[in-house]
Amino acid sequence: MDKENSKNSKKSRRKRSGKRKLPIVLAAVAATIAVALVVLFFAPFFSINTISSEAFEHYSAEKIESYLEEYIGVNGFRAVLKNSSLRQSKSFFSMELVDAEEKIMFDCPYLENVCVKYVPGRTLSVTADERRPSFMTEYYDTYLLCDTHGIVLETFTKENVPEGMPLVKGISLSGYKLGRSISDGKNKNIDTAIRVCGLMSQLEIDGYIDIADVSDYNNIYLYCAPSLTVKIGGPEDMGVKLSLLKGVFDKGLNGESNGLLTVADGKQATFIKNGERED
């Protein structure tokens, strides 16, 4: 009996001792974390002193880096924390500066998928993809250069419109914004024009086309200067029809061919020379 009491007494003392040590251990862990956070967020060797950006076709590396000059001398981890919020899908651990990314994309419409990332050490790294111009369209006296998603990349006057881009006819715009799509998803003519021009860019036949007329949604025409007209028909099977057209172009037919080329059924291309066609 005395032995059992002695054992129970020892166990009780060990439990009390363990309970007394637990707060000490927790305090030590908390202190370690606090010191680590102070080092991360205030240590000078985590201050940004280098911005690294690739050069793009439409923007120099210096221009992109100029958007981030405010972060020079700022602690990298604090910069990331300042750019993070619960509203954003990217977390602190991605090391991305989301607000800086959005600012660059807003001012540089040719860029998408911009990533401004803090590389632990002293560097901000910038990467991005460039949008590919696909077609032109008109808004009053202004010519809009759009990409394969209808995003407005740049504007021109009639006197300085770039060559080599298809001009879309037959759509009516209520307005536009640089860096935003001309489509709101409610106008089938606009959506069809974007799709047609996007497929032409993908198939690399956009250089043959001068005008894409979508004014009649079910009777789309392409025009190749100086004298070739291409009848596409309705928007169904557009990829098939344009692939068929590419095959014809690859065989040598072009704007000098002087006639009407029909690919409306998506099965066979039919060419009729001007003057031979029946009314």
pLDDT tens-digit series, residues 82-103: 877 645 556 677 889 998 999 9
pLDDT band at 44 (very low <50, low <70, confident <90, very high): low
Phi, psi angle pair for 29, to nearest 5°:
-65, -45
Confidence (pLDDT) at 64: 95
Confidence (pLDDT) at 10: 47
Asked which of 38-52, 159-173, 187-201 is least confident by mean pLDDT, the reply is 38-52
Using only C-alpha atoms, what is the Rg of the chain?
32
Domain positions in the chain are 45-130, 133-273
pLDDT at 146 over 50: yes
Instruction: Select from 210, 198, 193 the least CA-distant residue to 256.
Output: 210
Under CATH, what is the fold of the domain 133-273? Rossmann fold (3.40.50)
pLDDT at 3 over 50: no
| Mean pLDDT value of segment 121-138 | 94
pLDDT tens-digit series, residues 227-266: 899 999 999 999 999 999 999 999 988 878 889 999 999 9
pTM of the model: 0.80
User: How many whole angstroms separate alpha carbon 247 and alpha carbon 259?
Assistant: 17
